[in-house]
Amino acid sequence: MTETVENCARILACVGDSGLWFAGRAIGRGAGVLKGALSDGETCGGTWTERNWFGAGQADVTCSNGASGRVYFTYQDRWTGTATGNGTLSDGNRIEMWSGNRVPEFLENTTGKPALPCGEAAIPIS
């Protein structure tokens, strides 16, 4: 939540339908890098920009298992980096992502507790 290029926002994502998830950080303001890991231990990294050539946010990611993909996102609040998006990996798995300091608010389940809705069992987050 600063105007510096060292700004850091949380990223959470569901990958596919089997309960696989991603946790990481987006670093930068307006554009930057992202780093994190899948719940199965594979690491992932890439780049992001808040506005690509057709006006959407875009993140490109490559993982240590060779999968790569793209997510298009829209901001709910640019200042906090709060965004939601969807995309696909090269292996065909769908990606649904949330980013920013307000992610838990977007992911509150019916019990009022934040949970990442990946697969049949939601993953609790804090």
pLDDT digit string, tens, across residues 104-123:
887 886 677 888 888 777 78
Which residues partner with 23 through β-bridges?
12, 37
Burial letters for 52-65: b for 16+ Cβ neighbours within 10 Å, e otherwise?
Answer: eeeeebbbbbbbee
pLDDT tens-digit readout, 57-109: 899 999 999 999 999 998 877 666 688 999 999 999 999 999 987 788 878 86
